[in-house]
Amino acid sequence: MGKVFEEISAELQKWIQAQQMFFVASAPIAGDGLVNCSPKGMDTFRVMGPNEVAYLDLTGSGAETIAHLKENGRMVFMFCAFTGAPKIVRLHGQGSAITSNQPEFADLKDQFPELTGVRSIISCKVQRVSDSCGYSLPRYDYVEDRDTLTKWAEAKGDTGLSEYRRQKNSKSLDGLTALTADES
């Protein structure tokens, strides 16, 4: 059934890039802190190398992943095959949030589509690559990406997005620091 790999092979990279959705999970170190798991889509994930991945992080209602990464860096990505052969892939690693005020942001941003509302780029050094069967997963047909988040961000504009991030993305649900004023 499941296997562990030393790196993301070219074949696995092709499979990952074909998935329309992925999940990212993180948690604070404190035992009573909340575990966060978020679905992502919109062609925002990239395999940067055999043991490195990144995704374009768009402004949303919370900033749990950013806060957890600042605290401890631990994260996992999960990809599920909803079409074709059943399969689940997990990428465990140490991540960081790269915001627009950091020098490497501009170079990394060129790897992704131009989207409104970019908050950061989440980069991860992958330490464990594994797959499992996915035999119980349902089959779904991809219809299209939703444009609701993009339209919301466009309506807010740069100033509105910065203000929103200051109000809603500065702390995690557990009170950990997410985005600082200079990162908003």
For 23-48, write each residue's pLDDT tens digit.
999 999 977 889 999 999 999 999 99
Distance CA 111, CA 108 (A): 6
Tokens 């330490």 — which residue? 127
In the chain, the percentage of residues whose pLDDT exceeds 90 is 95
Indicate the pLDDT class of residue 14, thresholds 50, 70 and 90: very high
For 86, counting Cβ atoms within 10 Å of its Cβ (0-12 exposed, 13-18 middle, 19+ buried), the class is: middle
CB atoms within 10 A of CB 1: 7
Q: What is the mean pLDDT of residues 116-128?
A: 97
Using an 8 Å Cβ cutoff, are 177 and 67 in contact?
yes
Q: What is the pLDDT of residue 1?
A: 64
Q: What is the pLDDT of residue 31?
A: 76
For the chain, domain boundaries: 3-183
pLDDT digits (tens, 9 = 90+) for 125-176: 999 999 999 999 999 999 999 999 999 999 999 999 999 999 999 999 999 9
User: In the CATH scheme, what is the homologous superfamily, with its name and number, of domain 3-183?
Assistant: Electron Transport, Fmn-binding Protein; Chain A (2.30.110.10)
pLDDT digits (tens, 9 = 90+) for 63-99: 999 999 999 999 999 999 999 999 999 999 999 999 9
